[in-house]
């Protein structure tokens, strides 16, 4: 049984989460862990967005700063220069657009352009970030759990049982937004696979994902090409297609409503097979 709302309120779209949605990653960066540099130019990033739309993506997620462990931070000016030219064009695509950023000034500017979702790996912990989201009447927001910060998070990963710690962190982050008047229907949770967690903790978050889903917020989960997949398969980052798609389907089966992926076409196809199976099972159950 799935918990939580079936629709996600965003700036321009009320996204139906009765079916799993695929969020396609577009890294407008030279240094992302998987495809850094491939879409760093405005032209290449727009071509990537167009390709993902053709492949059936439900949400485009654009980011101009890598969160790869050890990567130095990017200035506001540099991040603006990377993402704003792409955002101005992609807003015409008639598909929900998410901006992956932690900078309040850029959040406000992007929301002014009509961006639908703010996806913040810091869960709006930077000064001014909660207010940037709360001052908008309807934008969606994804709050992610991260232990530590990108430069050092894998040197000293979190200890103990990750599931209750992640849940409590996200509950508190959500309550701060609710107190500012942000509707629950605008908030989604991301457990932050790989962000300061051990391999075992990441898999416990997948195995016990329902413990997060019962909080009532839709789960947005990103396993795509993560190092924990490489740890169990022995495959390098760009050979993790099968593992990534498998993890996405397992996440959906355990209650995720949005999966954030690099490989949109293959994930969409896999979820169609999953949905067909679920549909048949539901019909058979109704007959009995």
- The strand pairing partners of 157, in sequence order, are none
The residue from 80, 197, 240, 260 that is catalytic is: 260
Our answer to whether residue 12 is catalytic in this structure is no
Question: What token pair was written down for 146?
Answer: 């991260």
- Nearest-CA neighbor of 173 among 191, 161, 157? 191
Query: Alpha-carbon Rg of the chain, whole angstroms?
Result: 18
The residues near 51 (Cβ < 8 Å, ≥ 6 apart) are: none
Our answer to whether residue 254 is catalytic in this structure is no
Q: Residue 57's CB: how many other CB atoms inside 10 A?
A: 25
The one-character DSSP state at 141 is: E
**Rounded to whole angstroms, how far apart are CA atoms 67 and 147?**
13
**Rounded to whole angstroms, how far apart are CA atoms 183 and 194?**
28
Mapping DSSP to helix (H, G, I), strand (E, B) and coil, where does residue 156 land? coil
Give yes or no for a contact between 188 and 8, defined as CB atoms under 8 angstroms apart.
yes
The residue from 80, 226, 240, 257 that is catalytic is: 226
Q: Which of 137-172 are b and which e, b meaning 16 or more Cβ less than 10 Å from the residue's Cβ? A: ebbbbbbbbbbbebeebbeebbeeebbebbbebbee
**Rounded to whole angstroms, how far apart are CA atoms 206 and 212?**
10
State the burial class of residue 64 (Cβ atoms within 10 Å of its Cβ: 0-12, 13-18, 19+). buried
| Diameter of the chain measured on Cα atoms | 61
Kindly list the catalytic residues: 226, 260
């Amino acid at each position: 049984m799935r918990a939580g709302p079936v629709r996600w309120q965003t700036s321009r779209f009320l996204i139906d989460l009765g079916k799993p949605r695929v969020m396609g990653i577009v890294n407008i960066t030279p240094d992302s862990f998987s495809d850094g540099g491939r879409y760093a130019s405005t032209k290449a990033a727009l071509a990537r967005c167009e390709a993902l739309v053709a492949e059936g993506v439900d949400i485009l997620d654009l980011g101009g700063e890598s969160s790869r462990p050890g990567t130095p931070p990017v200035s506001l000016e540099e991040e603006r220069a990377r993402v704003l030219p792409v955002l101005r064009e992609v807003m015409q695509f008639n598909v929900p657009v998410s901006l992956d950023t932690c900078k309040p000034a850029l959040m406000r500017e992007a929301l002014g352009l009509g961006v639908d979702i703010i996806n913040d790996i810091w869960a709006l912990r930077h000064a001014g970030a909660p207010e940037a989201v709360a001052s908008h009447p309807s934008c969606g927001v994804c709050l992610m759990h991260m232990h530590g910060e990108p430069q050092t998070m894998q040197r000293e990963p979190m200890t103990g049982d990750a599931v209750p710690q992640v849940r409590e962190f996200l509950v508190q982050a959500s309550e701060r937004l609710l107190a500012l008047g942000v509707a629950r229907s605008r908030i989604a949770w991301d457990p932050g696979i790989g962000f300061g967690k051990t391999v075992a903790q990441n898999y416990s978050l997948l195995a016990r994902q329902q413990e997060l889903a019962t909080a009532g917020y839709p789960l947005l989960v990103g396993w795509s090409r993560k190092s924990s997949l490489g740890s169990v398969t022995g495959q390098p980052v760009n050979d993790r297609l099968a593992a990534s798609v498998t993890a996405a389907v397992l996440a959906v089966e355990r209650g995720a409503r949005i999966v954030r992926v690099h490989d949109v076409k293959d994930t969409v196809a896999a979820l169609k097979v999953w949905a067909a199976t679920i549909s048949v099972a539901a019909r058979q159950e109704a007959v009995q």
